[in-house]
């Protein structure tokens, strides 16, 4: 038995997300089908985590096990030749049989892109936000999310996961040309968590007591107290660390 790890990039615009779902097109489904065509055998493709509908990835990690000995260079080339053009396997390697893309992940980093200039080249990959953005204030307020906390107020109400504690290691706001970029690194994420954090931070900068405002949202443990999520199209799974 062999175990192979993949690093995958994808444009999530036309997909229902990573996870296979009935009656919808997913990233996991497309990659699984392509691998099974090449191997002529069924496989179980395990991702490091689910990305929602419309969310993109620069460094999604996944693994699958097979009895087949694979020539990695040729297999990756063949795989990319039959995958849709909006999904690419950027790296592939053999790993130990014990490796599990989801359970072994230690840190995951997401990026969120905001633009304040309308452009047809940004529309599928960023959130157009024409209002004022105070990067210094947002950087300061983001410190409220650092450490291990209960993120119930920042996850979707129908999230069935009982443990809502997540550890956020790092948050960064920066501007690069016309793009404002938010980066967050955490141990794990709840459903819709990053987009709700960004939406809440953008609105918090206009509050008279923004720190207290965020603290009260955490304490409420109620999703309705946080602000509306920003659109999925600006979100990228950037990197998974093991």
Q: How far apart are the first and last CA of the chain?
A: 22
pLDDT of residue 146: 97
Task: Name the band, by pLDDT with cuts 50, 70 and 90, for residue 206.
Answer: confident
- Six token digits for residue 89: 């396997």
CA distances to 15, 101, 139 from 87, rounded to whole Å, are: 11, 18, 33
Instruction: Convert the pLDDT of each residue in 51-60 to its tens digit.
Output: 999 999 999 9
> Is 196:155 a contact under the CB 8 Å cutoff?
yes
- Six token digits for residue 122: 């940004």
pLDDT of residue 242: 97
HSE on the CB side for 86, CA within 13 Å?
Answer: 15
From 10-19, 123-132, 222-231, the region with the lowest mean pLDDT: 222-231
Q: Provide the strand spans (E) within the chain.
A: 2-10, 46-47, 56-66, 87-95, 107-115, 127-128, 147-150, 165-176, 179-186, 235-241
pLDDT of residue 222: 79
Name the H helices within the chain: 27-39, 72-82, 135-142, 193-204, 210-220
pTM: 0.93
Rounded Cα gap, residues 215 and 35, in angstroms: 47
Task: Name the band, by pLDDT with cuts 50, 70 and 90, for residue 213.
Answer: confident
- pLDDT of 224 > 90? The answer is no
pLDDT of residue 158: 64
- pLDDT of 18 > 80? The answer is yes
Q: What value, to the nearest 5°, has the Cα angle with vertex 225 and ends 148 and 217?
A: 35
Residues 6+ apart with CB under 8 A from 176: none
pLDDT of residue 162: 76
Instruction: Convert the pLDDT of each residue in 90-143 to its tens digit.
Output: 999 999 999 999 999 999 999 999 999 989 999 999 999 999 899 999 999 999
> Is 144:200 a contact under the CB 8 Å cutoff?
no
Rounded Cα gap, residues 182 and 175, in angstroms: 9
Rounded Cα gap, residues 60 and 137, in angstroms: 31
Q: Which residues are catalytic?
A: 52
Instruction: Convert the pLDDT of each residue in 155-193 to its tens digit.
Output: 887 666 778 899 999 999 999 988 999 999 999 999 999
Instruction: Convert the pLDDT of each residue in 42-85 to its tens digit.
Output: 999 999 999 999 999 999 999 999 999 999 999 999 999 999 99
pLDDT of residue 221: 83
For β-strands 165-176 and 179-186, DSSP reports them as: antiparallel
pLDDT of residue 159: 62
Rounded Cα gap, residues 178 and 118, in angstroms: 10
pLDDT of residue 21: 87
For β-strands 56-66 and 46-47, DSSP reports them as: antiparallel
Q: Give me the residues paired with residue 111 across strands.
A: 183, 236
Instruction: Convert the pLDDT of each residue in 19-38 to its tens digit.
Output: 998 889 999 999 999 999 99
Nearest to 16 by CA among 235, 234, 232: 232
- Domains by residue range for the chain, with CATH: 2-95 (3.30.70.580), 107-241 (3.30.70.660)
Q: What value, to the nearest 5°, has the Cα angle with vertex 47 and ends 192 and 66?
A: 165
């Amino acid at each position: 038995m062999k175990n192979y790890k993949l690093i995958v990039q994808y444009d999530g615009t036309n997909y229902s997300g990573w996870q296979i779902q009935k009656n919808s097109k997913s990233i996991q489904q497309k990659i699984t089908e392509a691998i099974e065509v090449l191997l002529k055998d069924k496989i179980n493709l395990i991702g490091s985590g689910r990305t929602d509908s419309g969310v993109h990835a620069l460094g999604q990690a996944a693994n699958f096990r097979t009895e087949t000995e694979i020539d990695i260079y040729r297999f990756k080339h063949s795989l990319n030749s039959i995958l849709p053009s909006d999904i690419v396997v950027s790296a592939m390697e053999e790993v130990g049989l014990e490796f599990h893309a989801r359970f072994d992940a230690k840190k995951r980093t997401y990026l969120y892109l905001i633009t304040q200039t309308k452009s047809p080249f940004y529309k599928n990959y960023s959130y157009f936000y024409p209002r004022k953005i105070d990067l210094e204030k947002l950087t300061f307020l983001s410190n409220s999310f650092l450490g291990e906390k209960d993120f119930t107020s920042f996850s979707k109400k129908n999230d069935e996961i009982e443990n809502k504690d997540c550890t956020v290691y790092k948050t960064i706001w920066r501007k690069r040309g016309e793009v404002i970029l938010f980066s967050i690194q955490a141990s794990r994420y709840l459903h819709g968590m990053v987009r709700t954090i960004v939406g809440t931070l953008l609105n918090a900068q206009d509050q008279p007591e923004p720190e207290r405002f965020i603290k009260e949202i955490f304490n409420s443990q109620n999703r309705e107290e946080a602000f509306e999520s920003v659109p999925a199209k600006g979100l990228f799974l950037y990197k998974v660390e093991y």
